[in-house]
Structure 1
């Protein structure tokens, strides 16, 4: 990942205690990951980095918006997102990120790159079904919605009974004669 050096945190020189890092994420961040589902992005990220004697805690908080197409109409809109992630960093013999909440770095590591965690947090904070707010309140006007309204089955209208073969009607009479 080129151009993501700004997300390296050299923890070896930091004193024990809490340190705050702030980042503004835009579309260029996602271009580094070759992710193009967002048309635009404006997300503020804060990382509360707590260094302790034998481990580190990282608390990620994001809030902002991503410009995405509506799943129903295809219209672009700004989807508000927010999310948090808590990560514990420990030291061991080799790198291990099998656990989602615990990262093990080699003993000789001197910095951590947090860009992957920010990327995943933003992606997972976007809802699976993205619906334009105007669709939800009924003020959206688009060709797709007009076509959906035209093809909608109205449950209030009574469905006319289909004509059946009179031979079957005689069998139905047997059931009701009891």
Structure 2
């Protein structure tokens, strides 16, 4: 049994009318897809198939949350997903996906596997830069980045400068606020402990 066999729509055996299919996507789906960006997921996928004789109208609705890696601090970042994908499918002499709105599949295909459609729909919701809101990044990493920022660096991207300025402002704001928790009681991340030894 293939990894994505559960995502096959039995188009040839569907009677005329509307049909619904539901899927639950979690981490394993994205592991099987070999996704580098999505580390975990809790997504509900609802698929509506409306068969109109010579045309199948397919609507995918995906809602839930995925886990990404923050580009700034490398901690997990929860990203909400609420998106829809709409496509028409019809049978033809050969496979043809030249159009964004119409997919043609060979007459010999009794089923349509929509696993990659679902994956692409989710992947398109991920922004180019995925970062925590200001003030939510890992404090230890933010402090290290500020400390190791090269003074008077010349060759840098404007966006990087802006990001670094935001991070410095974030660290300075955090340093001005009283820390209500006792530092000894707060568990530390062993990755940062190892980095601190390099100082």
Say if 1:92 and 1:106, in contact at 8 Å, map to a contact too: yes
1:77 is displaced (CA, Å) by 2.2
CA distances 1:82-121 after superposition (whole Å, capped 9, x unpaired): 2111110012111111222210011232111111100111
Report the RMSD for the aligned CA atoms in angstroms: 2.2
Give the equivalent residue in structure 1 for 2:50: 50
Counterpart position of 1:80: 80
Unpaired stretches in structure 2, ≥5 consecutive residues: 150-164, 169-199
Listed one character per residue, the Cα deviations across residues 47-69 of structure 1 (whole Å, up to 9, x for unaligned) are: 11111101101001111111111
Distance in 2 (alpha carbons) for counterparts of 1:45 and 1:141: 32
CA distance in 2 between counterparts of 1:125 and 1:139 reads: 21
Instruction: State which drifts further: 31-40 or 139-148.
Output: 139-148
Partner of 1:34: 34
Partner of 1:15: 15
CA contact (8 A) 2:62 2:84 kept: yes
Aligned residues: 151
CA gap of 1:141–1:7, structure 2 versus 1, over 3 A, is closer
1: CA distance, partners of 2:91 / 2:13: 16
- Check 1:51–1:7 CA distance in 2 against 1; reply closer, same or farther (3 A cut): same
The alpha carbon displacement at 1:139 in A equals 4.9
* TM-score normalized by the length of structure 1: 0.76
Match of 1:95 in 2: 95
Does 2:140 align with 1:143?
yes
Distance 2:5 2:136 in 1: 44
Cα contact 1:96–1:105 (8 A) shared by 2? yes
Deviations 1:126-162 (A, max 9, x none): 12211214x2xx35451332345565499xxxxxxxx
In structure 2, relative to structure 1, the CA distance for the partners of 1:141 and 1:40 (3 Å cut) is closer
Q: 2: CA distance between counterparts of 1:31 and 1:120?
A: 14
Instruction: Tell me if the contact between 1:2 and 1:32 (Cα under 8 Å) persists in the aligned partners.
Output: no
SS of residue in 2 equivalent to 1:28: helix
Gap regions ≥5 residues in structure 1:
155-178
CA distance in 2, matches of 1:105, 1:124: 23
Residues 54 and 64 of structure 1, relative CA distance in 2, 3 Å threshold: same
d(CA) in 1 for partners of 2:37, 2:96: 29
